[in-house]
Amino acid sequence: MKATAQELAEILNGEIIGDPMITVHAPSKIEEGTIGTISFLANPKYEKFVYTTNASILLVGKDFIPKQDISSTLIKVDDVYASVGSLLNAFGASAQKEYEHSSLAFIDPSANVHKDTNIGPFACVGKEVQIGEGTHVSAHVTINENVTIGKDCMIYPGVTLYANTVIGNRCIIHAGAVIGSDGFGYSKDEEGVYTKINHVGNVMLEDDVEIGANAVVDRATMGSTIIKKGAKLDNLVQIAHNVEVGDHTVIAALSGIAGSAKIGKHVIMGGQVGVVGHREIADKVMIQGKSGVASNVTEVGKRLYGYPAIEYREYLKAYALMRQLPDLHQRIKELENQIKDLKK
């Protein structure tokens, strides 16, 4: 992609300081900027690079006032990070290709696959599958029977979609993810022998959901496991049967949500968070990485930390005291020895 400063400013609703006709073809980090690239300043600690970078264009905030001469053309915008996101999407977009279905793919005759889709080599599309316009199915993807996929989705290599999975529009599923596998459900008899409980539900991903590489979303025992609109799951996340993940919630890598838990809207979970089954977490809750949530969280916007998770500031106070335990222990021993001497 090539664009002039003028064209970019129009896209970003920005103000140009410098040459409006200068052209860029790629983004760059500000400290590594070269001629023909566009970079940005969002964090003040990187301001020193503004005066040394060779990037042709810099995105800066509208309140930025340079302290020295700058060789780059500036585009001043309201929100630098949001503008960078828009530009990266534009530069990362693939050139428009003709849609094709690989001769090495298997597509069941009963499947309804829109003509404007890409089906990669060795992909397998099962019976009664529905795939919408503009969707890209990469190589070695397995789509089992009765799966429905909406428009403009991206399914990366090696993804497995189990039967009856429903995927909305503009979803992204990264390599190796498994959607709709059996939940971890067993019954135990008097002798301690486990018998598998058949899971007859499915998984539903609403519009604009993104699932990370090697993540797993289990199908429901009955009904649906639901990942709601705009939710984002990182790599290696485990979502158990009958879980509901709310709109625009983000869950970082290696987190696990146990069966039938309900996660609210706009929740943020750090890496390696665990949530006990059948628990409910309110909207806008923030959970620090490596925390374990063992009880319901009913307060909207609450911040949690620790295992078991408690209020964030309370955890920090408790941790500060814990670090003093060795010294406190030594003082107690000294006091005990003094008491012994007094008794003598």
SS (H, E, C) the chain: CCEEHHHHHHHHCCEEECCCCCEECEECCHHHCCCCEEEECCCHHHHHHHHCCCCCEEEEECCCCCCCCCCCEEEEECCHHHHHHHHHHHHHCCCCCCCCECCCCEECCCCEECCCCEECCCCEECCCCEECCCCEECCCCEECCCCEECCCCEECCCCEECCCCEECCCCEECCCCEEEECCCCEEECCCCCEEECCCCCEEEECCCCEECCCCEEECCCCCEEEECCCCEECCCCEECCCCEECCCCEECCCCEECCCCEECCCCEECCCCEECCCCEECCCCEECCCCEECCCECCCCCEEECCCCEEHHHHHHHHHHHHCHHHHHHHHHHHHHHHHHHHC
Q: Is 112 exposed, middle or buried (0-12, 13-18, 19+ CB in 10 A)?
A: exposed
Q: What is the dihedral of CA 323, 326, 331, 336, to 10 degrees?
A: 130
Residues labelled catalytic: 241
**158 C-beta neighbours (distance < 10 Å), count:** 17
Least Cα distance to 293 among 243, 329, 231, 232 occurs for 243
How far is the C-alpha of 189 from the C-alpha of 212, rounded, in Å? 37
Please state, in angstroms and rounded to a whole number, the distance separating the CA atoms of residues 160 and 186: 23
CA 123/CA 139 separation, integer angstroms: 5
